[in-house]
Structure 1
Amino acid sequence: MLYSKEKQIFVKGTVSAVTNNVAVNVSKYQKTLHGFAVIDRQTVHVVGTENAVDDAADVPQHCLDTKTDVTQVLWCTLGYINCLVVTCSEGLIIYDCDKQFKRIYTHNCEDKNMKEKYAKGIAAFECTYLCVGNSNGSIRVFGPDEDGQVVFLDRKLFHGAPITDMSSYKHNLVSCDESGCTVLSQIDCGELMIIARSKMFGGHPCTTTEMTRVGLMAVGYGCGTIRMFDPAVKIINGDAEDQLPMIVQISAHARCITSMSAAKDADLLLSVSEDSWIRVWKISSTVIIMNRNIFCKLPMLATILPFQTITLVYCYMKEDTMFVGCQFITRNGSKFCTTAYDSQYITCYTVNQL
């Protein structure tokens, strides 16, 4: 695969140095395409996909001033409401995209009994539930009530360190934290239940996580490594929590991985880092059939084992650039965008047609 620069989208501000600093509206449930959202300290800039450099002054942009430091943004649909979800140092803010980004819900994540300083990590479950992480390691669950209004449902303390990112696939939720721990949980009727957790891997912090279209868990670390886990593969640990064994490890970057994105309808994983590199990975799944009882007269037994391979299919280095965000623009992975610290542009790339 070979990608080339398609266009640059102008932002009336500069991109802040926070991980996962770009959100693209690729939801199939959205009525209109508002495009991109990036964080500029206490402001979220929302621009349209048609806002290219040549006509940047002609297309209006929404500037959402939260009056507090923003940590992450995500487009999602809750019930019948198309939302832009913002986490910040005060908690959670939800904007209605179909009503000129009217603020429809806020939740202060501060708890006098818990040392909570900010919210970070957002994941949505197919129009039904919204999960938000917190600096004390807890996860809050929100969802629409009978009247379609967003309400608080549940809170669970799954981590011993601040949560850095979360991602979801069907009923599975993956969350990671600054200690390097990854937790797999499941949601049932608005309640989270822990399934398994990984080990610390030397204490390097997790910075970003994604779930692929087949449900594999990809986690990026501060050391530049990407590790993958399979929710279906767990080490049973008796009465204690089950352990998530690593199935793939990649020395993906030389410095901290700041953002990853998985294509919704393709086996592609995009990663960017502080090392100025953009990389696109191809995830391939094969099945190995192992026969047992070959040397005895017992009936033949077969064990089917899934096997994952990761192949680098594209890489590009932009000198003296600290990338802080990336996301696929199209569901098939044919286009993606990146953001860089202290830049005024969102750069879009498209695959070259042979």
Structure 2
Amino acid sequence: KTLLLVATASAIHNNLSVKMLDPSRIAESVSVIHGGYINVIPMRTVDTTSQYIPCSSEAAQKYAASVMQVMWCYVNFEAVLVVAGSVGLQVFDCDSLELRFSHACRDVPEDREHFARGLAHTPGDYICVGNNSGIVRLFGTAEGGSLMFIDRKQFHG
């Protein structure tokens, strides 16, 4: 299948993520980074058009948002699109692609630029994300199933 992109994909590592259906391991959709946007392209249905998701927040209006990494994973038995970038961590609902959770992951003063990069999904519904200050944050699910911040770790050599 030929994929039609809305714009040129960003020339960075981890600029593409494939959402796989378990257990068949068939690609359901592909997400591609385009600067501060993500293009989600459906793979299984021909008649469905791709969706273009802007990644921004009210606090990020001072500068253009940029996306560093995307990842599809299952949290609390639901597929979600996890995004790391200049606005921090963002988690989008799989079906409607609406923002469900956001965390700035900021460890520098407000006047300095920061970004989150380095996503990992661990067993037990945990998401880890690093940032440009060398901090790794751990997020997990609360009793109601929503995501919450759990811990912050800094490497000391």
**Highest RCO, 1 vs 2 (Cα 8 Å, sep ≥ 6):** 1
Give 1:1-354 correspondences, 5 Å limit: 7-26=1-20, 28=22, 34-50=28-44, 58-67=47-56, 68-98=65-95, 100-112=96-108, 117-126=114-123, 128-158=125-155
Q: Distance in 1 between matches of 2:108 and 2:101?
A: 21
Taking the aligned partners of 1:77 and 1:133, their CA distance within structure 2 comes to: 19
Partners in 2 of 1:101 and 1:136 — Cα distance?
29
Q: Retained in 2: the 8 A contact 1:45–1:61?
A: yes
Aligned mates of 1:83, 1:25 — CA distance in 2:
9
CA offset at residue 138 of structure 1? 1.0
Distance (Å, rounded) in 2 between the aligned partners of 1:87 and 1:45: 15
Q: Name the % identity.
A: 34
Give 2:62's aligned residue: none
Select the structure of larger CA radius of gyration. Answer: 1
Matches of 1:151 and 1:104 in 2, distance apart?
Answer: 11
**Count of residue correspondences:** 147
Please report how far the alpha carbon of residue 112 of structure 1 lies from its aligned counterpart in structure 2 after TM superposition: 4.4
- Report Cα offsets for 1:153-185 as digits up to 9, x if no partner: 01111278xxxxxxxxxxxxxxxxxxxxxxxxx
Is 1:75–1:84's contact at 8 Å kept on the other side of the alignment? yes
**Cα pair 1:76 1:127 within 8 Å, conserved:** no
Distance in 1, Cα, partners of 2:155 & 2:120 = 15
Residues 116 and 29 of structure 1: is their aligned pair in 2 closer, same or farther, counting only changes over 3 Å? farther
The list of structure 1 runs, each at least 4 consecutive aligned residues, that deviate by more than 4 angstroms after superposition, is none
* RMSD of Structure 2 on Structure 1 (CA): 2.6
Q: Which amino acid is 2:152 matched to?
A: R
Unpaired stretches in structure 2, ≥5 consecutive residues:
57-64
With normalisation by structure 1, the TM-score equals: 0.38
- Is the alpha carbon distance of 1:159 and 1:132 closer, same or farther for their aligned partners in structure 2, counting shifts above 3 Å? farther
Q: Which residue of 1 aligns with 2:59?
A: none
The one-letter code sitting in structure 2 at the alignment partner of 1:108 is A
Shift in alpha-carbon separation, 1:108–1:12, aligned structure 2, 3 A:
same
Take 2:32 and 2:130, find their aligned partners in 1: how far apart are those partners?
Answer: 19
Cα distance in 1 for residues equivalent to 2:105 and 2:151 = 12
Q: Which runs of 5 or more residues in structure 1 are unaligned?
A: 1-6, 161-354
1:17/1:134 Cα in 2 relative to 1: closer, same or farther (>3 Å)?
same
| Contact in 2 for aligned 1:73/1:87 (Cα 8 Å) | yes
CA displacement at 1:116 relative to structure 2? 7.1
Equivalent-residue separation in structure 2 for 1:43 and 1:130 (angstroms): 21
8 Å CA contact retained: 1:110, 1:116: no
Deviation string, structure 1 residues 284-336 (Cα, Å, up to 9, x no partner): xxxxxxxxxxxxxxxxxxxxxxxxxxxxxxxxxxxxxxxxxxxxxxxxxxxxx
Q: CA deviation at 1:91?
A: 0.3
In structure 2, relative to structure 1, the CA distance for the partners of 1:116 and 1:109 (3 Å cut) is: farther
1: CA distance, partners of 2:23 / 2:93 = 14
Please report how far the alpha carbon of residue 28 of structure 1 lies from its aligned counterpart in structure 2 after TM superposition.
2.2
